[in-house]
Amino acid sequence: EVQLVESGGGLVKPGGSLRLSCAASGFTFSNAWMSWVRQAPGKGLEWVGRIKSKTDGGTTDYAAPVKGRFTISRDDSKNTLYLQMNSLKTEDTAVYYCTTEGFMGYSSSWYGYWGQGTLVTVSS
């Protein structure tokens, strides 16, 4: 059974930093593309970024609102995904989900498995 368990959320002041973790099990983590998706209170889903598998280059992509402030990394030996968030803003307040990203060539992609999410609150 695939499981994704996020941790590390909490209350942080504007300008502060936080690191989220996502522990994965039930699939071959090292082969997986992984993404973070967030959801502000009462709002819709927003894609944050992804990291490809190392065999596909291990590169990262980010949404414009977080580029330069957030960093996604992975430790395949620990089956763990990370999201380092710096220079946090009040608008970063959201539930952060880690997801697996499947794809079929360049024609489609999808987020098949989701964690339960971890809440990050940025407030003074």
Partner 1 sequence: SSELTQDPAVSVALGQTVRITCQGDSLRSYYASWYQQKPGQAPVLVIYGKNNRPSGIPDRFSGSSSGNTASLTITGAQAEDEADYYCNSRDSSGNQLGVFGGGTKLTVL
| Nearer to partner 1 among residue 71 and residue 109 (C-beta) | 109
Q: How many CB atoms lie within 10 A of CB 106?
A: 6
Burial level of 55, CB count in 10 A (0-12/13-18/19+)?
exposed
Q: By C-beta, is 18 or 49 nearer to partner 1?
A: 49
CA distance 8 to 52: 22
77 vs 106 by CB, closer to partner 1: 106
CB 62 within 8 A of CB 75: no
Least spacing, CB of residue 28 vs partner 1, in Å: 18
Residues 3-42: x where in contact with partner 1 by CB under 8 A, - otherwise, as a string: --------------------------------x-x-----
> Alpha-carbon dihedral of residues 83, 62, 102, 1, nearest 10 degrees?
10
Which one of residues 45, 56, 73, 91 is an interface residue with partner 1 (CB under 8 A)? 45
- Collapsing DSSP to helix, strand or coil, 74 comes out as strand
Q: Which of residues 57-96 bind partner 1 (CB under 8 A)?
A: 61-63
The binding site for partner 1 (CB under 8 A) comprises 35, 37, 44-47, 50, 61-63, 97, 102, 104, 106-112, 114-117
